[in-house]
Amino acid sequence: MTDTVRLELLESVLEAVSVGTIVLDAAGRVVLWNKWMSRHSGCATHEALGSDLFELLPELRGTRVHAAVTQALQNNFSSLLSQTLNRSPFPLFSNPAAQARGERMQQAVAVTPLTVAGARHCLIQLSDVSLAAGREKLLREQTELLRMQTFSDGLTGIANRRAFDVAIDREVRRAKRGGGKVSLLMIDIDYFKPYNDHYGHQQGDQCLIQVSSALQALLQRSVDMLARYGGEEFAVILPDNDLQQAMQMARTLHARVLALALPHEYAGGPAKQVTVSIGVATLATDRHAEVPALIGAADHALYDAKRQGRNRIVAAPPELL
């Protein structure tokens, strides 16, 4: 292969590749601007050749691209520009539709020093990573959705039992480490079976949604967690709350459900509306009790509330913990 043919071959390859290629001489003037660059920048090769890159594209002045070019020309350093700092440093567009939307191409940029005929030059390679970045974003969104689905209840959207198990374990360990307290409320809708039987399962579902969102709206601290513990049973974890504070929260939640005034003609008790019973337990960390004891105590208190006639709040005696 003769030198002329080899040169022609190299030129055709440069024009055909799907990578933007710019070569600058030691003064920063463009000596090579391939077809890919023309296509995606809207600046033809003959317009670019001989221009100072930073006059041709003034917005690059003072950017990391500028610094990388200076480093390559003056200090012979290569740079790979991080995607996280500036995803689209050059005014390039993947296609005309993206340009019409003003949506710039996301770029991977590599700046490399070159020595050509004994003189320092600088090669800038650009590739379109919009597709890969889009896929990455989609993947991140799907992962987040999956994470949310794993830890939230499909009907009510609040935390599910799995999330509760993780949180109660974490909060009890944290309380023990810091010598604090943690309280737990177990909340159960009264006479929910007759509610379902008379109003139908769908309305039963609506009732669960209304009650859970009313309860959720009252939890102001980000550390508090309302979870669906079972069918019509909810749990509230109150980190750093003593029994008195937990009882106050229980009264607020109980009153909120009453204020919903959801009719329940078939309730077994005197109230002809949806009510809840609440069991309250507090774990003091000077005791040796663990998670099962705390849940057991709150459950026991809830059972007592049911036995005493429902629509009430009962605190677990400390000896249960």
Ligand X SMILES: Nc1nc2c(ncn2[C@@H]2O[C@H](COP(=O)(O)OP(=O)(O)OP(=O)(O)O)[C@@H](O)[C@H]2O)c(=O)[nH]1
Measured at the CA of 209, the angle between CA 236 and CA 315, to 5 degrees, comes to 30
Using CB under 6 A as the binding rule, whether residue 299 contacts ligand X is answered as no
Q: Which of 136, 144, 205, 265 forms a contact with ligand X (CB under 6 A)?
A: 205
At residue 191, the 3 state secondary structure works out as coil
Task: Tell me the site size for ligand X, rule CB under 6 A.
Answer: 16
Contact 111, 124 (CB under 8 A): yes
Q: Is 196 in the site for ligand X (CB under 6 A)?
A: yes
Q: Which of 310, 313, 316, 321 binds ligand X (CB under 6 A)?
A: 310
242 residue type, one letter: D
Q: Which segment (51-59, 70-78, 183-191, 240-248) binds ligand X by CB under 6 A? A: 183-191
- Cβ at position 202, least distance to ligand X in Å: 7
Query: Which of these segments, 132-140, 162-170, 189-197, 293-301, binds ligand X (CB under 6 A)?
Result: 189-197
Please give, one letter per residue, the 3-state secondary structure of 79-145: EEECCCCCCCCCCCCCCHHHHHCCCCCCEEEEEEEEEECCEEEEEEEEEECHHHHHHHHHHHHHHHH
Name the residue nearer to ligand X (CB basis): 105 or 208: 208
Q: How far is the CB of 224 from ligand X (least distance, A)?
A: 23
Torsions phi, psi of 94, nearest 5? -65, -40
Both tokens of 155, joined, read 């009907």
Asked whether position 306 contacts ligand X by CB under 6 A, the answer is: yes
Minimum CB–partner distance for residue 134 and ligand X (Å): 38
Give CA angle at 19 (16, 24), nearest 5°. 100
CB of 296 to ligand X, least distance (A): 18
Among 93, 191, 229, 234, binds ligand X (CB under 6 A): 191
231 binds ligand X (CB under 6 A): yes
The window from 72-80, 134-142, 204-212, 239-247 that contacts ligand X (CB under 6 A) reads 204-212
CB of 182 to ligand X, least distance (A): 25
Rule CB under 6 A: say whether 229 interacts with ligand X. no
Applying CB under 6 A, the span of 32-40, 55-63, 187-195, 241-249 interacting with ligand X comes to: 187-195
Q: DSSP string spanning 228-268?
A: E-SSSEEEEEEET--HHHHHHHHHHHHHHHHHH--B-TT-S
Q: Which of 153, 171, 232, 299 touches ligand X by CB under 6 A? A: 232
Please, which residue, 131 or 155, has the CB nearer to ligand X? 155
Q: Are 225 and 314 in contact (CB under 8 A)?
A: no
Which residue in the block uniquely carries the two structure tokens 């705390």?
294
Residue among 20, 204, 239, 279 that touches ligand X (CB under 6 A): 204
Give yes or no: 232 in active site. yes
Distance CA 146, CA 132 (A): 21
Binding of ligand X by 265 (CB under 6 A): no
* Pick from 100, 22, 105: nearest CA to 68: 22
Catalytically annotated residue among 15, 55, 141, 232: 232
For β-strands 313-315 and 276-284, DSSP reports them as parallel
Site membership for ligand X, residue 35 (CB under 6 A)? no
Residue choice 39, 135, 193, 307 for contact with ligand X (CB under 6 A): 193
Alpha carbons 296 and 239: distance in angstroms, whole number: 17
Residues near ligand X (CB under 6 A) are 155, 188-193, 196, 201, 204-205, 208, 231-232, 306, 310
Residues known to be catalytic: 232
